[in-house]
Amino acid sequence: MDCKNEAACGEVAFTGNVTPILNEIKHALNSLIETGESTTIDLRAMPMAPGEMQQIESLLGTGEVTATINAMGSSTVNESLYAGVWLVTHRNTDDEILGKFIEITRIPSILESQTEDMRGALEALPDLLAENC
Amino acid sequence: MNEVDFLLWVRGPGLAIASIIFVLGMTVKMFEIFMLGRKKNLAELRGSGIKEGFRTIITRSGHVDTYSTRNTRFTHIAGWVFHIGLFTAIFLLAPHIEVFKSIVGFAWPALPTPIIDFATVIAMITMLAMLFHRITNPVLKYLSTGQDFVVWALTFLPLLTGYMAYHHLFFSYTLVLGLHILSVCLLLVFFPFTKLTHAVTLFFARWYNGMMAGEKGVQQ
Amino acid sequence: MADDRTLAEMLRAQGITRRGFLKFCATTASMMALSPAMVPKIAAALENARRPSVIWLSFQECTGCTESLTRSHSPTIEKLIFDVISLDHHHTLMAASGEAVDEALNEAMEENFGKYILIVDGSIPVGNPAYSTVSGISNLDMLKHAAEGAAAIVSVGTCAAYGGLPYASPNPTGAASVEDIIKDKPIINVPGCPPIPVVITGVLAQFLTFGKIPELDSLGRPMAFYGQNIHDRCYRRPFYERGQFAETFDDEGAKKGWCLFKLGCKGPITYNACATTKWNEGTSWPVESGHGCLGCSQPNFWDMGGFYRALSMPTVDLANKAGIGLAAGAAIGVAAGALNRGKKAKAVREHETVTVDDLEKGA
């Protein structure tokens, strides 16, 4: 990173959130495999030093799956380089970040189709069939 | 009164009152002591005594004679350890130096806070040991009065509350900081009226003792 | 006007899918500083929440709190909150003006008597109520009248919560906080100068979701946002622990991001969400930008001894006090000394003897 102010680049002011979070992910992943229990970590609830959030994201990286959801602004759901560890970022219609979560799960529930929406779709399909008959 | 108002009071009117009483009390004491003066020495002087006076201020802190040292070894060592720890905590901690800077206008380098923390713990442990010694040693038990224990508490509380403040123990920081400053106010208020005045009078007392010995031509 | 539909029905009517609703719940939970495990509970609560009427009254204030809220850049949540709540009255934001406003206010209060949420920003001058009036009605009267039918009152900003800037010494207008005046209604204090926007809406969202007052601390602030000390959450804490302090705003220590204690940071006595939630959607906060915490969510923060004087420094001039002590002490000392000399001379003249009791006197 090109920085004039060391403090803003996270090179000197290190609170060490990285190691505890990575450990938490490791434990959660173990729990997921053993018992099937999912865990969600809210990254915005932690006092991050400047540059720490970016460091965590770059350490986790992006793996095989990238998904974008368009509901009240875009949300991105990426599986990291570590299977079962997903990074979910919610944005609003002005593209500002509303929430950042690390989900340790088989698939983040926000990706699944919701029953109510499916019911609504079921109600709308007959109209489609009627049009095209 | 909530804890914020309490903190504001001790940092303002509280410290003001305590400082005035402290300086006033010490000044009155000094005037009283010096204005009474000393009896004129009518004997022929063997030496001027001035040099010996200053020498005694320092030598009295150390070994005097083997017999006395053996009996008072615990108090002697504990005293040194406690005082060094106390002065380290008071004068070498950065937030305290800021207080002195606001009074006298200049500052000096501070020590890393963990070192001060260690010194404070040592000082507190030593104080507890000295209290135990005072209660169990038969001679000290006989000689001790209420004032001795009050003075012990007045000195112990600032160390304890300071430690609690740094480590954010038990209560909210605002309250603990307020209690710490209050304990210092109490120490200042009672200082001139108890044996704590030794902090100042010890220099004059030792000087006079040395001077008297020097005038008699006796080694001190 | 208040609506009888539940929140979920309203969102659905706006074309928001359930997936969108879940996203809303997840980000709301994050905003309310609740654990992600609470999301299903929030979803269930919001599904059945009804749309309350909200009346916002602005008194002796700078409008910074309203600005903070509306200038915030995550309007989806705030927008939804305001779409969801029925903001029936807001001096600055509402389009109407003049008598129509007064009518609308009275109508809203009557229709929803006992059920509306009253939000207040700005302090209330009690010294002379004429210092701040709206439509010829003093803030004091308006507050008392509006409070009668309120289900709960939210004091937004340090001025409404504790008196704020107008309350600072010597308090020329006799400014008072809401809780100084209203004693018989539940009051939630959301202080800050201004409060972090997401905190304002987070508190409203909490009230909306769970329908009751959140857990409050000893100063009436929601524990969710004001439960943690800035100092305990500050990323510069390791420097404080090691005793590495910046001495000026542009020295080496400052550039390295060292602790700002000596430059007046009031972090240790301040409770707010700045260190974790930060400002401008997590961009930064005062300490991260190199300036000490002002303590703006605490009562009396304007009179806390100076923004740039360290917390440990006394708020009075001690050198001056010491001078007074010295002068008075000298005077008394001379008098006492003279008296003592007199006593001593008398004792010598009368050949007084010293007994054991005399020696014990000083002990």
Q: How confident is the model at residue C24 (pLDDT cuts 50, 70, 90)?
A: confident
Gap between the Cα atoms of B161 and C266, Å rounded: 19
Residue B206 lies in a domain: no
**Chain C, window 2-41: residues with a beta carbon less than 8 angstroms from a chain A beta carbon:** 16-20, 22-24, 26-27, 29-31, 33, 35-37, 39
Q: What is the pLDDT of residue A119?
A: 87
Residue at token pair 């104080």: B127
What was the pLDDT predicted at C72? 58
Q: What percent of chain A has pLDDT over 90?
A: 40
Where do the domains of chain C lie? 7-225, 230-303, 327-355
- Which chain C residues contact residue B112 at CB under 8 A? 242-243
| Mean pLDDT of the C29-51 span | 78
Is B145 within 8 Å of C361 (Cβ atoms)? Answer: no
CB contact under 8 A, A101 and C30: yes
> C6, C12, C14, C17: best mutation site toward chain A, by most A Cβ within 10 Å?
C17
Helix axes C318-349, B15-36, angle to 10 degrees: 30
In a domain? residue B193: yes
B48 occurs within a structural domain = no
Q: Which fold has domain A6-132?
A: Ribosomal Protein S8; Chain: A, domain 1 (3.30.1370)
Question: Which helix (H) or strand (E) covers residue A103, if one does?
Answer: strand A97-104
What's the average model confidence in pLDDT over C355-363? 70
Q: CA nearest C33 in A: which residue?
A: A45
Q: Which letter does DSSP use for residue B44 in this model?
A: P
- Write down which chains contact chain C via at least 3 CB pairs under 8 A: A, B
With contacts defined as CB-CB under 8 Å, which chain A residues touch C29?
Answer: 42
Residue of A47, A72, A92 with shortest CB distance to C235: A47
Domain ranges, residue B102: 3-37+67-201
Q: What per-residue confidence (pLDDT) applies to A15?
A: 55
Q: Is the pLDDT of residue A10 over 50?
A: no
Whether B55 is covered by a domain: the verdict is: no
What is residue C86's predicted lDDT score, i.e. its pLDDT? 66
**pTM, 2 dp:** 0.78
Q: Which of A109-113, A116-120, B180-184, C219-223 has the highest mean pLDDT?
A: B180-184
What fold characterizes domain C7-225?
Answer: Rossmann fold (3.40.50)
- Extents of the domains making up chain A: 6-132
Q: What is the CATH number of the domain that holds B156?
A: 1.20.950.20
Fold identical between C7-225 and C230-303? no
B53 occurs within a structural domain: no
Identify the closest residue of chain A to C256 by CA–CA distance. A7
Any C CB within 8 A of B19 CB = yes
- Looking at chain B from residue 66 to 105, which residues have their Cβ under 8 Å from any Cβ of chain C? 94-96, 98-99, 102-104
For residue B194, is it within any domain? Answer: yes
A vs B contact (3+ beta-carbon pairs below 8 A): no
Provide the pLDDT for residue A8: 44
In this prediction, residue A11 has a pLDDT band, given cuts at 50, 70 and 90, of very low
- In the predicted model, is pLDDT for residue B38 greater than 50? yes
Is B49 contained in some domain? no
Specify whether domain C230-303 bears CATH 2.60.40.3680: no
Q: What percent of chain B has pLDDT over 70?
A: 99
Give the total residue count for chain C: 363
pLDDT confidence of residue C114:
84
**pLDDT at B97 (0 to 100):** 92
CB pairs under 8 A between B and C: 145
Which residues between 308 and 327 in chain C have a beta carbon less than 8 angstroms from any beta carbon of chain B?
Answer: 309-316, 318-319, 321-322, 324-326
C133-134 and C137-138 strand pairing: antiparallel
Is C290 touching A (CB cutoff 8 A)? Answer: yes
Give pLDDT tens digits for B119-163: 999 999 999 999 999 999 898 899 899 999 999 999 999 999 999
C101 touching chain A per CB within 8 A: no
